[in-house]
Structure 1
């Protein structure tokens, strides 16, 4: 009725106003959505009274349970009872956590000597994987002695579980916004085609960082698939575990060079130069992360050492005529009978 009395110019103005209102509404919705995506993930998943349950702990627990399930499943092919792996978990998991924490605290003693109460605050992060590996290997040694199981036999079985657990565990670092790399641009992160919630979680106090947690998680997951296939190929005993050491350490060495929170120490210049030369192929596309103190990244040094040890053990054992297979003919026969039943 009103519109019928309007001039053409007035009709255009009303139409334009309605269009602008619609556009404003869409922009507000887009802005609200962006604000929602930009919210940093709360490291506390939920609270039970005064007790706070952190995502970090949930993720680590999930990684341990999935790893246990895989180990039990693979152990059945070797005729090993599930109770063996349940008992092993009781020994290894606490030892790995203690080893990971002590390793980290040792190299950050300047801080923890002033804040001793934080030493046990593992839910805040600060678990060094290499320390956890050392703790687990030591506990595993005493465990197999008690159970009369061969060390490398068990290590081969659980190797895929270990690296898959590491792949999952890195997402705990993501939630805590730690173990990240050097600063990068938003455009760089978008070029990786990452979902917005990952990109925004890598925005720490207004600065975007390399999602090194994601690089390592992907690398470890690929390693899990390779080790799983290697088990089916039935190599010589010990080679699945040694391959784990080589694969994980290779990825960790190069990814560690991007990080800015590496544990470091002051070592000989020739060693620092050697590690820099080994990492130099990465400089074609990446800039190394700054080291706050020291000239050697401990994780890089340990990674190179483990790679060399893994390769040497495979070569030396083969040269000495080690022909024992990962899965013996008797175990293969027993597994076939079990599947038939």
Structure 2
């Protein structure tokens, strides 16, 4: 019975080559594995997609930044179409967002199908551009389970572009359905009633119908919240212990809500923020402290403490970079088992 065969073929998702092997067993299994229904149920069963590799921008003193792909799963094929001078900006819902700064253009790329879509930066306001940040997401972000929203008939996406000028921070959006940028939003003001600057290198996080960017104002790191439905903007303070602008802050999602991963010396601090009763803001709560030095205590050649290099927000993974006397190594730290 095909129902029983499906139970057998629910292989761990981190090794997709097993499905290819199963498809070679017989015609029935091949037809089953290639069927859209089985693939859909396979994704629904495993829910969180596996991380087959990660992209990062390689920087050096003598060359421009170029994206590189590092394979984690042995069955993941290498990605060779990364020869342009692109910068890795964001990735979400099966798409990767890159930028060509010299051409003031963004590239939305599906790494599975290799389909690319280039779009120019939105027309800048009359003021001088200081910093910018952008995020890509599925157009149906509020009603989609994102299991296959980057495929065929539901391939529409949305780009949110946050831009800080000399006296204000404004946001506009690009829809692939209309192939146009929306008008610029109203300025973002905090309770100090002065402008700040969006942080281009801080991770972006999508929680519900809100997108969060890093924000910097008067020597302090903050979080810029953008409501996708109402287009309203607001600024959120960090926990009082983290208001020092020199601390390393990464915006993440924790248990379906907004979270922070911050590093102070060799310890990683996890913070979460959720609404209380009747939607009242309950503020920040420190949920966990992880001693990074203890995680690498068996590595006798480690000369410097491990540092947080980035996050893969959709799957709850933090990248840690360590250095020895003659090399650097990147580790992945999965947050899900410890939640």
TM-score, L = length of structure 1: 0.23
Higher strand share: 2
TM-score, L = length of structure 2: 0.23
Higher helix share: 1
Report which of the two structures shows the higher radius of gyration computed on alpha carbons.
1
Q: Relative contact order: is structure 1 or structure 2 higher (C-alpha 8 Å, sep ≥ 6)?
A: 1
